[in-house]
Amino acid sequence: MHAADLLTAEPTAQAVAAATERLPQPSATARDHLRRTLAASQRGPVASQWPALLLEARAKADVRYVEPATSHRPVVGPVLVFAKRTFRRAFQPFINEVLRRQVHFNEAILDALTVVIENQREHARTQALWRRELEARLKQLEKDPPGPSSR
């Protein structure tokens, strides 16, 4: 199906609006049920754990601090580890300043991804709610015999 197949000139928007005005008013129970459904779909976001997808990235967001220095070399290894630790201690304030903006960027990206994931979850929940509602309505329509106005 193409988008052009969905666009039509007939009936006009005015004709559709006029037809909707002729529809019967829904019952009070149907209105209440729809209000409850809408209220359930508009609930606020639930505070949840960080998405599992982002847990590892969150642990690595602050790039200013690294793992303790190690070396696999048996003879010169301890000297290299001492040199690495000394360099880190001496230059850590400069390293922090150079990487500060990167850390802020990493945190902002993780926050944005978390919002996107939460929005996706909420959208999926709302779609599932509407799908259940439509299925219930279809079952009800299948059970109800056709009325005299449907002929």
Instruction: List per-residue pLDDT tens for the chain, 151 residues long.
Output: 677 777 777 888 888 888 888 888 888 888 888 888 777 766 665 566 778 888 888 888 888 888 888 888 988 999 999 999 999 999 999 999 999 999 999 999 999 999 899 899 889 988 998 899 889 888 888 887 766 655 4
Structure tokens at 5: 């197949």
CB count within 10 Å of CB 44 equals 6
| Confidence (pLDDT) at 46 | 59
Closest CA to 136 of 42, 33, 63, 35: 33
CA distance 33 to 31: 5
| Confidence (pLDDT) at 36 | 82
Q: Is the pTM of this model over 0.95?
A: no
| Confidence (pLDDT) at 149 | 58
Give the burial string for 83-121 (b: 16+ CB within 10 Å, else e). Answer: eeeeeeeeeeeebeeeeeeeeeebeeebeebbeeeeeee
